[in-house]
Amino acid sequence: MGKFRIGVFDLNNGAPNEGMRCIKYLIEEFFMRKELETDYEVFDVRRGDVLPRYDEFDAYISSGGPGSPLLEGTDWEKRFFSLIDDIIAHNKEHQEKIYFFGICHSFQLLVQHFGLAKITKRRSTSFGVMPTHQVVEDEPLFQGLENPFWVVDSRDYQVIQPNEDAFLSTGARILCLEKERPHVHLERAIMAIRFTPEIIGTQFHPEADAEGMHRHFQTEEKKKAVIESFGEGKLKSMLESLEDPDKIMLTESVIIPTFLETAFNHKMELV
């Protein structure tokens, strides 16, 4: 059996977060389930780590992160997009494909790189455990999830106004939209896109687990911030949602594990 390697891009720019812990846990759990030697490497992208050659890994997971996702032309953005372009070029020419999953900030970067939609700042932060609506019925990574399914959402920006010509020319597909808001006369944001057969991204955090969210909300600083911004009722409903096995526990157990399984099975078929 050939080696299966996973590259992890940390876009948190040194900010403390639970997302990287969750990503590492899901990767380590995957290798344990497959009875394989754990083989992954983390790259601190925004703080200047040299990125790998695109073909050093079989699959990549790229995290969320703080701050504006709007492109600034930085060196790290150029390195990030160069690797994406190399993956796309490789996948067009080779039978053995390389897989890539972009989360939140990474998702917004991919949207801009492919020219698929507009990124704007929201009127207010979207934050909490929320329903997300599937708009296609055949997305393999969402098999086993209800429609809508529940996700952890945490963002100040949104992906809206899809460019239909760009979607047609690239073959990308919108997979999910944010929750329905009948009382709000605003466009619903795009929550997931399959950019190519091997590259997918989500605005939400499929890696989030109940343990990390509980810990996040148990600090006095975070509790106070949520209550001041959204009220005690919002905090209470979020904590209750974390205990529901059909909400984010289910999402966490399906999307990233299925992505890794798909990439792994593809490689094993060619060995």
- Confidence band of 2 (pLDDT split at 50, 70, 90): low
Output the six-digit token pair for 128.
Answer: 């909490």
The chain-wide mean pLDDT, for the chain, equals 91
* CA 251-242-15 angle, 5° bins: 80
Mean pLDDT to the nearest integer, 90-111: 98
Q: What is the pLDDT of residue 161?
A: 96
Q: What is the pLDDT of residue 245?
A: 74
Question: DSSP E strands: which ranges in 45-98?
Answer: 59-62
Q: Which of 71, 203, 68 is nearest to 127 (CA)?
A: 203
The interaxial angle of helices 105-114 and 75-93, nearest 10 deg, is 70
- Confidence band of 222 (pLDDT split at 50, 70, 90): low
Measure CA 112 to chain center.
Answer: 15
The model carries a pTM of 0.92
CA distances from 22 to 26, 54, 131 (A): 6, 24, 20
H-helix or E-strand containing 199? strand 199-202
Task: Report yes or no: 9 and 207 within 8 Å, Cβ to Cβ.
Answer: no
Q: Is the pLDDT of residue 119 over 70?
A: yes
